[in-house]
Amino acid sequence: MGELDLATLIICSQLSTRMRQVISDPSLNPWRTPLSRILEAEVYPPELATLAVRQIVPRVNWIEILSLASPHFILFTTTLPNLRELEWKEAFERRFLPGWTKWKKEFKWKEAFLKTLTRVFHRLHSSCTAEEAWTKYIVLNRNGAANEQEVSSRHFNPLTIFNELKFQANLMHLRTSVRIVVQFADVRILALGVLHKPRGSFTINSNAKAFLQPPGITSSTTSYSTNPQPPRVPMSRYDTNGSTLSDISDYSDSPNPKNNRSRSPTREDYSPLMHPLPFRSHRNYPFLTPGGGDQRWLGDGDPERSGEYWVGGMMIVAQLVTPTLPSEDEQDLDLILPGPGRSQYASFTWNDLWAVAPWMKERITRCINGQGLGNE
């Protein structure tokens, strides 16, 4: 029954009592597959808008719908279901970045979800910055430290800010590369950096590659779905003392190249991201998602083969985006040049970084709020 479309599944539920029992069984849940196909499409069928009034649909499916459906559909088209507070909390945490909980305040989770989604819809369709006057972003430095900085949202331009970082690092003569790290329903995380063939290891940023390509995972690694329950090894077992490379050959894997006794991570140390929930182009994140949208390995695969490394600092920003924006057709600077769906940004904070890339918590030597080196 899961292979049926939504309209046919609804008809089947009316054929007999037995069919109705099977279709409404939460443990069988034949609604999951057709709903997944619908949420990947640009146009939703009319049956989806009235799905909440049907008692035969297990309410757990609405967590998936609320996590991935377009803001316009949720706010203005569909009839919302009667969910428990914990289910609204789960939907909020799956859809939004952890830093966006600042808007919850004293609201209940349903009200917080709808208010936050209304803010997102407003920002996507206007240049208003009243809700978030300052936009935060993170810079991964080549010395192992990282800075959380902020700038006025009205004048926020990541390319201009990164050009200043390149000027300070004497890298203005090199081309800026932009990668989509992961995309969610309302926002995608972008990384701005510089790829270069350095003469030595002094300018190489080992944390930049680790952020884009988690150590132990390669573009040829099979998807997580082939091994749904791998053994988990706590990331705290990794030694994190030191961050400067002593040898370029250690650039790609070791979380602490100075310590040869540290264990290199493997793909079994990772699990697919669920909070927040990635969109279809990055559904297997942090593993590679086939299809062309996951471009973290684009142009900079095996460093020993290409000879290029991430040098200088790497800037991480959160760009508001509609789910149907064809990110597969955009590469590098096309992602941030002014245009429809590419002009609005949201804050990206420490909590967002730990949620998107939890392995970076063991690699970053110092977390600095504001500019500077963090010296007291």
Burial of 75 (0-12, 13-18, 19+ CB in 10 A): middle
Whole-number pLDDT of residue 200: 76
Burial of 135 (0-12, 13-18, 19+ CB in 10 A): buried
- Distances in Å between the Cα of 233 and the Cα atoms of 89, 258, 351 are 28, 22, 22
Bridge partners (DSSP) listed for residue 282? none
278 vs 351: CA distance, rounded Å? 17
Asked if 20 contacts 28 with a C-beta cutoff of 8 angstroms, the reply is no
Whole-number pLDDT of residue 338: 62
Cβ-based neighbours of 63, under 8 Å, separated by 6 or more: 83, 87, 90, 91, 94
3-state secondary structure of 311: strand
Whole-number pLDDT of residue 359: 95
Asked if 6 contacts 37 with a C-beta cutoff of 8 angstroms, the reply is no
Strands 176-183 and 187-196: antiparallel
Element (H, E) at 8: helix 6-12
Whole-number pLDDT of residue 324: 54
Cβ-based neighbours of 59, under 8 Å, separated by 6 or more: 81, 82, 83, 87
Residues in the chain: 376
305 vs 297: CA distance, rounded Å? 13
Whole-number pLDDT of residue 183: 92
Number of Cβ atoms within 10 Å of the Cβ of 35: 23
Whole-number pLDDT of residue 376: 41
* Residue 228 φ/ψ, nearest 5 degrees: -70, -20
Whole-number pLDDT of residue 260: 41
Whole-number pLDDT of residue 333: 67
Bridge partners (DSSP) listed for residue 180? 190
332 vs 340: CA distance, rounded Å? 16
Residue spans of the domains in the chain: they are 6-124, 134-369
Whole-number pLDDT of residue 198: 83
Whole-number pLDDT of residue 259: 42
Whole-number pLDDT of residue 126: 83
Asked if 262 contacts 239 with a C-beta cutoff of 8 angstroms, the reply is yes
pLDDT in 10s for each residue of the chain, 376 residues:
889 999 999 999 999 999 999 999 999 999 999 999 998 887 899 999 999 999 899 999 999 999 999 999 999 999 999 999 999 999 999 999 999 998 888 889 999 999 999 999 998 888 888 878 899 999 999 999 999 999 998 888 999 999 999 999 999 999 999 999 999 999 999 999 999 888 777 889 999 999 998 988 877 654 444 333 333 333 333 333 333 333 343 444 444 444 444 567 888 889 999 999 998 889 999 998 887 778 887 654 455 456 788 999 999 999 998 655 545 555 666 677 665 555 789 999 999 999 999 999 999 999 999 887 654 4
Nearest Cα to 187, choosing from 351, 345, 28? 345
181 vs 315: CA distance, rounded Å? 12
